[in-house]
Amino acid sequence: MAKVDVIMPQMGESIAEGTLTKWLKQVGENVERDEDLFEISTDKVDADIPSPASGTLAEVLVEEGATVEVNTVVARIETEAGATDAASSTEEASAGAAEESRAETEEAAATQSDAAPEPAPAAVGGSDAGAPSSAPPVEPGSKEERLRTRSTPLVRKIAEEHGVDISAIQGTGVSGRVTRDDITAFIEAREKAEISAEATPAPGGAAPETVSAPTGGAPAPAPAQPGHMQVPIHGATLDIRIPAVPIRDGDRVEEMNRVRLRTMEHMLMSKRISAHVTSVNEIDFERVVKLRRNLKGKFAEQGVKLTYGPFIMKAVTEALQEYPILNSSVDGTRIVYHNDINIGIAVAVNDGKELIVPVLKNADRLSLMGLAAGANELAEKARTKTLDFDDIQGGTFTITNVGVFGNLFGTPIVNQPQVAILGTGVIEKRPVVIQDAMGNDALGIRHMSYFGLSYDHRVVDGAMAAFFLNKLKDVLENFPEDAV
């Protein structure tokens, strides 16, 4: 009887853990391939996870409310319906596989973070015979209690760093779960109370001591703390030494949360793998500005907000079709040219403190209206933490809009395993030299923008990047009416 492992998926590049909030199927029930099997919650995404195969849900290894590392086996599906009992030898083999899977997960987690991984909860339902002896006992309490006290991995990390008991906070999330905003507000309120207490003069007029510093001159810097981090690259682990930083009196020290750590690892990995180069082009947006002004009302009537983004995406898809090397990936010494054009759209969330990249699939097959509606929907789902598992998978090219923050242009880091990323700068009026119909030069005011294209020089040469940017420039400056 063949069994298929169901794993905790990685919902984004910087996600290391997920909380299994609800099983949608029970042990013994049939499930179809791609049918929703369980619900998860992470620091960035809440999603329903589909079944990887058709069959019977034979084992549930992680119960509701538990938080586990990505790639942890959470259940097993028998591919033949009704086969819920197995021979003793099969149970032992399955137990050994589970133990090996946990060991691999713990080893991978150890290379990614100094924090020790949490063991997966014991199996729910079925016999305990053959279960690994290292399996921890099931956590006591109801599902609601576990959801409330466990919260998300990021919230637990913040609580641990600041010595906060999560159960003491009134949560505003699902089942009373403490959210990041809840714990941040709690810590800020506590710090303000402490500062206020320190500022109150002590009895007898003596001022309270707030900083311990050596006497006789300027405070001596605290000893530097050098460290190391491991970055996974093509199946291997690269050890990177982190330079020591002196900590002086008055400095504030804050541990990186799990999301920031994973982002750091991903960015360092990309810089180590890809030979980064950035080329910049200046684009006249005057035609697009006028088209958008004329079309905003028509789009609004259909409930769609029209920004400059869809025009840019339309130009990107045309350029990618003409220069497919920009829509590829590197697999060892092979170049994989992707058939689909799936545009990743970088969206800043949590007041710009974090970034997530939902993916607009088959963007080359969408009209301007389709691009606008699709991009708006993904951006809203990212901000409200309602992205589906499929929404953040399969990107082949990424666009990040640094202009929304007023920047002229950016030199973004390639989003692996892609080979290029486009940074769009602010669109603003600038004086430029223009020519009239007679070829005479004149000074005019135009809406202009700088586009920065970062690319992997292993497969994309400067000339090809220039051709790609020139194609973007041509499409946007002469945006065709039939593309609308």
Mean pLDDT confidence for 275-280: 95
Q: Residue 18 belongs to what H/E stretch?
A: strand 17-23
How confident is the model at residue 301, as a pLDDT? Answer: 93
Q: How far apart are CA 295 and CA 48, in angstroms?
A: 36
Give the CATH number for residue 464. 3.30.559.10
Give the per-residue pLDDT at 447: 96
Q: Catalytic residues, which ones?
A: 457, 461
Per-residue model confidence (pLDDT) at position 215: 41
Tokens 């083999």 -> residue: 93
Residue 384 falls inside a structural domain: yes
Arithmetic mean of pLDDT over the chain: 77
What are the structure tokens assigned to 173, written together?
């999330």
In a domain, 94, yes or no: yes
Q: State residue 232's pLDDT score.
A: 56
Q: b/e for 227-265, b at 16 or more Cβ within 10 A?
A: eebbbeeeeeeeeeeeeeeeeeeeeeeeeebbbebbbeb
Query: Percent of the chain scored above 90 by pLDDT?
Result: 38
Could you tell me which residue, 96 or 419, shows the higher pLDDT? 419
CATH number at residue 130: 2.40.50.100
User: Do 323 and 472 reside in the same domain of the chain?
Assistant: yes
Q: Which of 108, 136, 164 is the last residue of a domain?
A: 136
Count of CB atoms situated within 10 Å of the CB of 378: 22
Percentage of residues in the chain with pLDDT exceeding 70?
Answer: 69
Q: How many domains does the chain have?
A: 2
Instruction: Return d(Cα 483, Cα 363) in angstroms, integer.
Output: 13
Q: Is residue 252 part of a domain?
A: no
What is each CA distance from 288 to 99, 221, 291, 453, 454, in whole angstroms?
58, 55, 5, 20, 24
Q: Between 94 and 380, whose confidence is greater? A: 380
Domain region containing 457: 277-483
Tell the residue number behind the tokens 């609580």, with chain if given.
159
- Give the integer Cα–Cα distance in Å for 81 and 83: 6
Average pLDDT over residues 145-172: 68
List, for residues 55-77, the tens digit of each pLDDT value: 999 999 998 888 888 889 999 99
Count Cβ neighbours within 10 Å for each residue of 177-213 and write b for 16 or more, e otherwise: bbbbebbeebbeeeeeeeeeeeeeeeeeeeeeeeeee
What is the per-residue DSSP string for 349-374?
A: ETTTTEEE--EETTGGG--HHHHHHH
Q: Tell me whether residue 15 is in a domain.
A: yes
Question: When comparing pLDDT for 179 and 230, which is higher?
Answer: 179
Give pLDDT tens digits for 4-17.
Answer: 999 988 776 556 77
Distances from the Cα of 44 to the Cα of 118, 294, 407, angstroms: 20, 36, 26
pLDDT value of residue 106: 41
Q: In the predicted model, is pLDDT for residue 211 greater than 70?
A: no
Helix, strand, coil content of the chain in percent (nearest 5): 35, 25, 40
pLDDT at 216 over 50: no
Question: Does the structure show a pLDDT above 60 at 300?
Answer: yes
Q: Which is more confident, 192 or 327?
A: 327
pLDDT at position 319 over 60: yes
In a domain, 110, yes or no: yes
Residue 414: band (very low, low, confident or very high) from pLDDT cuts 50, 70, 90 = very high
Q: How many CB atoms lie within 10 A of CB 139?
A: 14
Cis peptide bond prior to 417, omega within 30° of 0:
yes
pLDDT of residue 130: 39
Query: Does the structure show a pLDDT above 90 at 329?
Result: yes
Last residue of a domain, one of 136, 162, 178: 136
For the stretch 427-469, pLDDT in tens is 999 999 988 888 889 999 999 999 999 999 999 999 999 999 9
Average pLDDT over residues 392-410: 92
Find the range with the poorest average confidence among 118-127, 311-320, 327-336: 118-127
Which amino acid belongs to residue 119? Answer: P
What's the pLDDT at 176? 63
pLDDT digits (tens, 9 = 90+) for 14-28: 567 788 988 999 998
Last residue of a domain, one of 112, 136, 160: 136
**Dist. CA 454–CA 86, nearest whole Å:** 54
Q: Which region among 173-182, 265-274, 332-341 has the lowest average model confidence (pLDDT)?
A: 173-182
Under DSSP, is residue 256 helix (H, G, I), strand (E, B) or coil? Answer: coil
Rounded to whole angstroms, the Cα distance separating 63 from 126 reads 13
**Amino acid 70: pLDDT:** 83
Number of DSSP helices (H) and strands (E) in the chain, helices first: 9, 21
Residue 446 lies in a domain: yes
Q: Over 50: is that where the pLDDT of 208 sits?
A: no
How far lies 136's CA from each of 27, 60, 119, 122, 125, in Å? 20, 15, 7, 6, 15
pLDDT digits (tens, 9 = 90+) for 66-113: 888 888 999 999 986 444 343 333 344 334 444 444 444 444 443 343
From 184-193, 282-291, 392-401, the region with the lowest mean pLDDT: 184-193
Mean pLDDT within 170-188: 69
Domain for residue 113, yes or no?
A: yes
Q: What's the pLDDT band for 41 if we cut at 50, 70, 90? A: confident
Contact (Cβ atoms closer than 8 angstroms) between residue 326 and residue 316: no
Whether residue 214 lies inside any domain: the answer is no
SS3 state of residue 405: helix
